[in-house]
Structure formats: C-alpha cells, structure tokens
Amino acid sequence: MPRLLNIVILLLFAVEKSDGKVRTIRRKSLRLFGIPESPESLFGNTIGHVNAALSRRERMATAVGRKQQAAEQNRRKNAAKDRETGEDSETTDQCPEPFGYFADAEQCDKYYDCRDGEITEKLCPDGMVFNDYSSEYEKCDLPFNIDCSSRSKLQTPQPSQHCPRKHGYFAHEETNICDKFYYCVDGKFNMITCPNGLVYNEKAGICSWPDEAKKKGCSSEEVFNFECPKVNESAAATHPRYADPDDCQYFYVCINGDTPRRSGCKLGQVFDDVQKKCDWVRNVPECADWYKGRLTDEQLAELENPPTPRPRPTKVSRRKPRPPKHSPRAEEE
C-alpha cells in the first residue's frame, strides 16, 4: 500500500509543471491522504508524510487487535470459571455448527444438541457415553466402543444390586469368579456365564482368553490349574497340545509353548494324546469308557456315521409356460 501511494504522488508531481490547474488536484489529493498542504513540501517530505500517516493507521490497527485479543481471553476465562462452578446455562450461543450433536470436551457422557444455533446440554443414561462418530446422529453407546481418554469425566453413578451403574456390563464382585459377569439395564441385572475356557474381559466387555483379559486372579494358570511343560524354541513355535488330565474330551494348547488355552473335541470324540488330535472314542483305548452312562453305543455310532439325508423332492412349477413370441418379420417370411 505505501508503494502504491508513493507512485500516485510521483505522478501528481510529474504533471504539476505542465498545467497550473493540476496544482489544485495535487492539493486535494494530499488532503485526502492526510498530508499538510505546504509550498515547501518537496518530494522526500511528501513521502515521509504518507509513511507517517500509514504508520499511525498501523498503530491504530494493532491497538484494536490487542483489545480484541484481550476481550477473547477474558471471555474464555469466564467460560472456564462457569464450567468449574456449574453456572453454565442450558441454552447458549456457542454451537460449533447451527445443527447437530456435539460431544463435551471434558465429560464423556455429556453432549450438546444444537438446533438453529441454540445449544442444549444433555446427558446419556448412566453407564452410557456419547458416540461422537457423526454430528448428524444422537447416539449413546457402551464405553467399550468409545475412546474417552481425552474426556474422562462422567456423571455421578446411580448404583443398584450387582450394577455399579444403571446400564452396562460389569464383572462379578468376587475376584476369583472369572467366567461370570452382569448385564445391567435400567439398574436391573442379568448374570451371564462365559463359554468353557473363557473369562470376562473388563476392558472389552466380552468373554475372551484369560491371557487376553489380563484380569487379576484370572490368569491362565489360575483358571485352568494347568502349567505348560517346558519345551525348546522349535517345539514352542508349534503351539504344542496336551491332554486334560481330568477330562478326556478336552485338551490344552500352549501358545508359544508357555500360555495354556483350553479347547475341546466335539461330542462323541476324545483327545488322543499320542496323535495330538481329536478322534472317535473307540479309537482311543485310555478313554474308551468316557461316554459310558451318557451315550449308548448306537448313539456313538450314529454320531460317527450320521445317516445320509434324504434328497428333497423337486418342486414342480404350477405356472403355465408362455407361448413363444413370433416376430413380424418371421410371419412375413
């Protein structure tokens, strides 16, 4: 901008000598830019006056910017004090967008409903947190599905029997009971038992292997009461299998040779500790009587050789076939 003004003034000085009337234009132009009208004003003085006028404007702009910055800082400080003292009103003018649902910056189960620029504070049901995947949807979800590490605050719990909060999945109160947990809805519980060999994973809200759940008092060795035999690295890489000493139908897989996981054979079969695989009970002499009293020989034979399913009869369509269409060209020929 100063360079452009200097060029204009040079042009005014250049035409000043050719016509006396131009002097009046020059005087008006100098007044416009705030330069004193003086006969003694030479080329250097004129540029100095212009630069001085511009520097005054820059100082004024800087002062205005500082005032605006200070006002913004004061607004943020007051907003932070309001959040600490709980004096926020339910409706404000701080919507990020005119419409949508937006997560609170500190509390994971709090969110804001924005409608036409007006914001209303809301809470998820106790035990649920706000899903901020999309601002178009109002959705509360289980904590296992949402990352609340950056906004870890939650509302005050509303506990009931076996339910630390009104909604969610929760571990059994007794730490040595690893395979049972509670599913709570509106403060009412339902106890669930994990499948054989799995324990409740508090971090994921599902049943998983003990070595994955990493729950205190529920390690693989503590749950199964079994320790993997020591083997060399090459044997460990094959995840060796070992028979369950108390149950012919089950066996242990030692992950990397040192972490046991309990698995089992299907009904009618037992684990062959020699062949290291599941086989029919009649082929494993040490477990020949395992199903005695539970399954008859006929039932075992049927499990091993299931009857061939009868083929389903072919359905005949009741629709009448349509006559073939004749083209006009074929009729003409």
Percentage of the chain exceeding pLDDT 70 = 70
Residue 87 has pLDDT above 70, yes or no: no
Is 185 among the domain residues? Answer: yes
Q: Which segments of the chain are extended strands (E)?
A: 91-92, 100-103, 110-115, 118-123, 129-130, 140-141, 168-171, 180-185, 188-193, 199-201, 206-208, 241-243, 250-255, 259-264, 269-272, 277-280
The domain containing residue 141 runs over which residues? 91-145
**For range 278-282, the mean pLDDT:** 96
Residue 32 has pLDDT above 50, yes or no: no
Domain count of the fold of the chain: 4
Q: Count other C-beta atoms under 10 Å from residue 67's C-beta.
A: 10
State whether the Cα torsion 19-24-29-33 is positive or negative: positive
**What CATH number does residue 244 fall under?**
2.170.140
Question: 50-54, 70-74, 153-157, 218-222: which has the minimum mean pLDDT?
Answer: 50-54
Residue 319 has pLDDT above 90, yes or no: no
pLDDT for residue 46: 43
**For range 231-242, the mean pLDDT:** 94
Which backbone phi and psi does 277 adopt, to 5 degrees?
-155, 165
Is 79 among the domain residues? Answer: no
Residue count of the chain:
333
**What CATH number does residue 137 fall under?**
2.170.140.10
Average pLDDT, the chain: 79
- C-alpha Rg value of the chain to the nearest Å: 42
Residue 315 has pLDDT above 60, yes or no: yes
